[in-house]
Structure 1
Amino acid sequence: MRGSALWGWLGPVLVAIFGGVLRFTGLGRPHAVVFDETYYAKDAYALLRYGAERAMLGDSDNPVADKRLIAGDLDIFRRCADYDQCASYVAHPPLGKWMIGVGEWLFGMNPFGWRFAAALVGTLSILMLARVARRMTRSTLLGCFAGLLLALDGLHFVLSRTALLDIFLMFWVLAGFACLVVDRDKARERLVDWWESAAVSTTGPRLGLRPWRIAAGVCLGAACAVKWSGVFFLIAFAVLAFVWDMGARRAIGLREPYRGAFSHDLPPAAAAFAAVPAFAYALSWTGWFVTDAGWGRGWDQATSAGPLFFVVDSARSWLKYHFQVLGYHSGLDLHHPYMSEPWTWPVLFRPVSFHYPTGLPPSACGGDACSQAVIGVGTPALWYGAVLALLGCVAWYVTGRDWRAGAVLLTYAAGWLPWFYYAIAQNRTMYLFYMIPLVPFMVLAVTLMAGLLLGRADAPPPRRAAGAAVVGAFALIVLINFWWLHPVLSAETLTRAEWWDRMLMTSWVTPAPK
């Protein structure tokens, strides 16, 4: 690793602080329940109080309940002696809501409280990506460049300021990937040390305990415990890690590297990518298991016999609940005015309107008509640049088999292509913000291409200067683009004309065709 170890941390931390200031400033604005916060903020509070999601008075998206919530009236859950009547059917695992609940516990049941955890993990993800990019490129400058781009992405910014689950899914996916990159370096260090000891073997050694791989399994299990779509990344990263193991054994010149990988690396990898994530996932349901408040819990039946029956019957009820949720997701095809198809996501054809109140008086902005919006959309300059960068990674991998390009492409495919099946075969309701787990990897693609443009440290100065000019200009364009969009990402009050000027396409605001 070239450069100062101090700046290797200080640079990414400073970039993360910059991103954190953007995300925490005005976090309580808008002072309203935004988009699907109407579900998750309330579910999180119910988890804190009861250990499981609980039904409210009226429908969960009842605007009357939203107003009571904003007013601080928290007595919005049903009062009943029978918990089966109080339990709420929910479509996602509980971990993301537990994380939202931490902010509510610390700062109260208010917009700042239920958005705090999202802003925190959004900020930490900037630091994490900067460090991962530094490790992958061996450049502190490129690491900071990656962190800055993520800090300036509009979709990441909006989801870091909204109590939805997707930002937590992104965080755990990125954390799992980061752990695997560290594990890759550590495993290769062990193999080199073994090789230099003049040991004789055709398959190589067993590498022993690999804590970073176990940590990756925990993180990927946590991703699945936020949203089931985390399983796409779990499968992809398991394949990726094993391919890295085979490549490492081949790189040091073993005669039978693949047999060594299958005999020495595959069994512990199976535990790290199957048993560990399964345990982490089940652990997130602790509140459902240990209380009688959860949907379909069957507490009276489970406690009617001994401990063994309790475990067996609880597992049966839990699995039955999961099959119900699977049926819900498979049949989710209701029309929504801001739904979109996955092949339109990379070009930002149809963002999601998170917040747009009506009836604002002209005095609010000093114009004839006023707008106050939160629109979930990526920074166009970054996203369109990422499309080109991903194509560059394809060419780079085909011609040079660079592991970094391959890792980015596999992750992008794992997080994007499965939605094509749901769009074509099931006509499922989907939204642009499903792309948020891929945004860090889009940034990594741009960073890798920036590294190629900059060239090696020993490249001719004119070559370095030209590359620096191009990369610097791109970062400046992204910064200006984000600054221009910021008012419609953060609910600033604008004139209608100022708001309209920031709509890149009419599809951003007009009803989508059915």
Structure 2
Amino acid sequence: MNADPAAEARVPGPAAGPSPEASGPVEASGQPEASGQPEASGQPEASGQPEASGPRGTRLDAWWARVLADPRRRALWYWGAPIVMTLIAAVLRFWNLGHPQQLVFDETYYVKDAWTLWQHGYETTWPDDADEQFAAGDTGIFNEAPSYVVHPPLGKWLLGLGMAAFGAGDAFWWRASTALAGTVAVLIVTLLARRFTGTTVAAVIAGLLLAIDGNAIVMSRVALLDTWLMLLCLIGVWFVVLDRDRSRALLERRLAGGRSPDGAPAYGPALWARPWVVAAGAAFGAATAVKWSGLYFLAAFGVYLVIVDALARRRAGVSFWATGAVLKQGPVTFLLFVPVAAVVYLASWTGWLVTDGGYDRHWAEQPGNAATGALAWVPTWLQSLWHYHQSAYSFHLGVHGDHPWQSNPLTWLFMIRPTNMYYREVDGCGDGCVESIMGIGNPLIWWAAAVAAGYLVYRLVRYREWAVGLTLLGLAAGYLPWLLYLDRTVFQFYSIVFQPYLVLGLAIVIGIVLGRPSDPAWRRERGIAIVVVFLLWAVAISAWFYPIWSAMPIDETFRRLHFWLPSWG
């Protein structure tokens, strides 16, 4: 992450992102990284044709350079622009958040589970007709019997923060912490985009796209677990990026003079002082404690850390760079990364462990259940917890059946079957007035992001840009595992976990289209015009769809005008 707003003055104008002529992010020094791409051996090839002589940049670039020449305005832009995008996201997520005052879609499970979790330390059952009474404010009607749940507790602890502080009588507090999580995600995407591209313009574009997208808005306005999963994975990725910068500099210092202080120049030193690796492990452990799919991020970025270490050693001239990264630094990274994730995950079960009433809490103490032989030493609480996990895993594998709004993961990138989470006929706007919450992303943003992701695969193969590779890794960790479960009942809104990387990828491509102030004027003008038109259309489409993202009363005919594909209705 670029920590020096002065770099904005050295890269004036609405330039953003890697381009074939200057692919690497601009660092705090104002200069591209050594080769333009840390993981590549050299600059991407240009078009092969010499650039025609002529004017460079635009009058807008010149004006922007003059604006940012003032340090105060530069600092205001550097810090203020991401904050503005975050505030836009907050308005779209918190406005009228308490409507509808009823449990929406899977809120019937997670809101009530969160409330009893905060009351007992474990989830309990409810009467069959509890939803209407709960929404009416009768929140104390839960039973004492434990409830069988198949997701770890942390997401429900986090979801229940608003209810724990202000009570469960108002739907606003069911959803407030989730809305906050979705808002914070916009800020982190903005910061990551600036680190990836080197400019605040591209960062602002990335933040704006996530702030106004319908899938991100809807998933922030309903109290489900997936937005918390997305945020914690995103925080873990951010920490990995911070470690990448810090560990590279640390390695170079340790190798200064041609050999490492521990006398092992052939393999390079083992780096223990990597606090961001520990922080990333904690974040991914917390994500796993929301939903088990967080494990895929833990595994993917654990491998990524080893690969980055290997490439850093190769660039630093370490003779056996691969061996040093895998056999010397690898075990150290594992010890910094994985155990803390396990501790955080186990800590999320504290309520179940320190109380007596949780589901299957004393399973191993029942006759015939406890382990014998070599495993007899394992504490009964751990045996009971392991049994619970085995049962939950079997449940997840067996989730089959027909649901009217299920979708095939193969279609998620193109948003073929979004999720209808709420629909009700109401009075107040003439005949056929309805309220609806449809998990439809902004079609222009989604489809453009899907195309951008395909282009970035090509770009990674050709130019080996680190930011492109990390973006695609986040997308793969959140999306590809679902392709192993094509016969399960799953929904489009699960895509929220990888949506930030779709947006980051789109922002990188938009930066390429924008070009740089040093580009020929005609190219720069064309790039700016394309991006401005795209963003204006994206904002207009979000304004058009917002009524069906936020349950505003609308005419049924007007609602159906939003179904651009037959499968949306």
| Same fold flag (TM > 0.5) | yes
Moved more, 201-210 or 22-31: 201-210
Tell me whether 1:166 sits opposite 2:226 in the alignment: yes
Shifted more, 409-418 versus 221-230: the winner is: 409-418
> What does residue 414 of structure 1 align with?
477
The aligned counterpart of 1:296 is 360
- Distance across 1 between alignment mates of 2:141 and 2:384: 27
Partner of 1:474: 534
Asked whether the equivalents of residues 292 and 299 of structure 1 are also in contact (C-alpha less than 8 Å), the reply is no
Tell me, in whole angstroms, the C-alpha distance in 2 between the residues paired with 1:40 and 1:478: 32
Cα pair 2:364 2:380 within 8 Å, conserved: no
> Which of 137, 142, 152 is matched with 2:202 structurally?
142
The 1:207–1:407 alpha-carbon spacing in structure 2 relative to 1, beyond 3 Å, is same
Cα displacement (A) at 1:116: 0.5
Residues 346-404 of structure 1 deviation map (CA, whole Å, 9 limit, x = unaligned) = 1111111110014x24xx212x3112100012111001001110111011111111112
1:495 and 2:560 correspond: no
Whole-Å separation in 1 of the counterparts to 2:258 and 2:325: 20
Taking every aligned residue pair, what percent have the same amino acid on both sides? Answer: 40
- The 3 A distance-change label for structure 1 pair 439 and 259 is same
Alpha carbons of structure 1 residues 456 and 256: separation in structure 2 relative to 1, 3 Å: farther
Counterpart in the other structure of 2:466? 403
Distance 1:351 1:441 in 2: 19
Alignment equivalent of 1:230, drawn from 291, 294, 300? 294
1:355–1:373 Cα contact (<8 Å) kept: yes
Determine the C-alpha separation between the residues in 2 that align with 1:8 and 1:292.
52
Task: Quote the residue 1:52 is aligned against.
Answer: 122
Residue identity opposite 2:466 in structure 1: W
Do structure 1's residue 27 and structure 2's residue 97 form an aligned pair?
yes
CA contact 2:364–2:383 (8 Å) conserved in 1: no
Q: How does 1:386-465 map to 2 (within 5 A)?
A: 386-423=449-486, 427-465=487-525
Deviation, 1:195, is 4.0
Aligned residues: 487
Of 497-506 and 261-270, deviating more is: 261-270
User: Scaled by the length of structure 1, what TM-score is found?
Assistant: 0.91
Q: How does 1:251-266 map to 2 (within 5 A)?
A: 251-266=315-330
Q: 1:369 aligns to what? A: 432
Q: Indicate the residue corresponding to 2:107 in structure 1.
A: 37
Q: Which residue of 1 aligns with 2:304?
A: 240
1:314 CA displacement: 0.2
TM-score, normalised relative to structure 2: 0.82
Write out per-residue CA displacement over residues 43-95 of structure 1, whole angstroms, 9 at most, x where no aligned residue.
Answer: 0010110000001123xxxxx3111111111122124xxxxxx0100011111
2:341 aligned partner, one-letter code: P
Looking at structure 2, the residues matched to 502 and 371 of structure 1 have their Cα atoms a distance apart, in angstroms, of 14
Aligned-residue CA RMSD in angstroms?
2.0
The counterpart of 1:327, out of the listed 351, 370, 394, is 394
| Cα separation, 2, equivalents of 1:301 and 1:136 | 53
Flag the structure with more relative contact order, 1 or 2, with Cα contacts below 8 A and sequence separation at least 6: 2
Alignment of 1:169-318 (within 5 A): 169-199=229-259, 201-298=265-362, 301=365, 312-318=379-385
- Please give the alpha-carbon distance, in whole angstroms, between the structure 1 residues aligned to 2:519 and 2:306: 34
What's the offset of the Cα at 1:319? 0.3
CA distance 1:506–1:465, change in 2 (3 Å): same
Secondary structure at 1:240 match in 2: helix
Distance 2:236 2:79 in 1: 20
Matched, 1:102 2:166: no
| Alignment pair present for 1:385 and 2:448 | yes
The CA deviation at 1:120 is 0.4
> Could you say which structure has the higher helix fraction?
1
**Native 8 Å contact 1:154 1:376 kept in 2:** yes
Please give the per-residue CA displacement for 1:107-133, whole angstroms capped at 9, x wherever unaligned: 220210110110001000000110111
AA aligned to 2:288 is C
Task: Identify the residue that residue 424 of structure 2 maps to in structure 1.
Answer: 357
Measure the CA separation in 1 of the matches of 2:521 and 2:343: 53
Equivalent residue for 1:71, pick from 122, 136, 151: 136
Deviation at 1:145, TM superposition (A): 1.1
User: Any unmatched runs of 5+ in structure 1?
Assistant: 59-63, 80-85, 303-308, 510-514
1:12 corresponds to 2:79: no
Q: Distance in 2 between matches of 1:52 and 1:433?
A: 27
Q: Which residue type is aligned with residue 106 of structure 1?
A: A
Quote the offset at 1:18 in angstroms: 1.1
SS of alignment partner, residue 388 of structure 1: helix
Task: Tell me how far 1:450 sits from its aligned partner.
Answer: 1.4
User: For 2:531 and 2:283, how far apart are their aligned partners in 1?
Assistant: 32
- Long gaps (5+) in structure 2: 9-73, 367-375
Q: Return the alpha-carbon distance in structure 2 between the equivalents of residues 319 and 370 of structure 1.
A: 50
Structure 2 residue identity aligned to 1:9: W
Cα pair 1:96 1:165 within 8 Å, conserved: yes
Q: Which residue of 2 aligns with 1:512?
A: none
Please list, as runs of the form range in 1=range in 2, the aligned pairs for 1:78-93 lying within 5 A after superposition: 78-79=143-144, 86-93=145-152
Give the secondary-structure state (helix, strand or coil) at the position aligned to 1:23. Answer: helix
